Structure 1
Amino acid sequence: MHIEIDQDRCCAAGQCVLAADDIFDQRDEDGVVVLLDHVPDDADALARAREAAALCPALAIEVHA
């Protein structure tokens, strides 16, 4: 699995951080998503990454399994 983010699409809603704060963070200056872990390695992390992608109002997160 790997995760891709599109920072240009991000609207800084923060739903990804709420769903998976070990995988996603936000830049201090504008709140845009920052990817902390491109390749999480367990099933729980995969589930949380997929939840974050589903919650993203800008559809800025893609999870590839």
Structure 2
Amino acid sequence: MALHNRKLSFTTPIVVGFAGILLSFMLIAIFVTLAQQKDFLEDYHDINRNFTHNLAINYTENPAAGK
């Protein structure tokens, strides 16, 4: 039976494992950020639409009331 004197290398699997974990966290963070940005923009558009509607209503009510 031949003896193998080759050293076992644990650094490469550990680095690959941590790189995979880091890549997974980065992808999750990007996905969550994009999802939150979409929700934020939808909420902002709703607020902006309501504000514009209120401005239009106030502008048309004042001359009609004769004030």
TM-score by length of 1: 0.25
Say which one has the larger Rg: 2
Higher helix content, 1 or 2: 2
Q: Which has the higher contact order (CA 8 A, sep 6+)?
A: 1
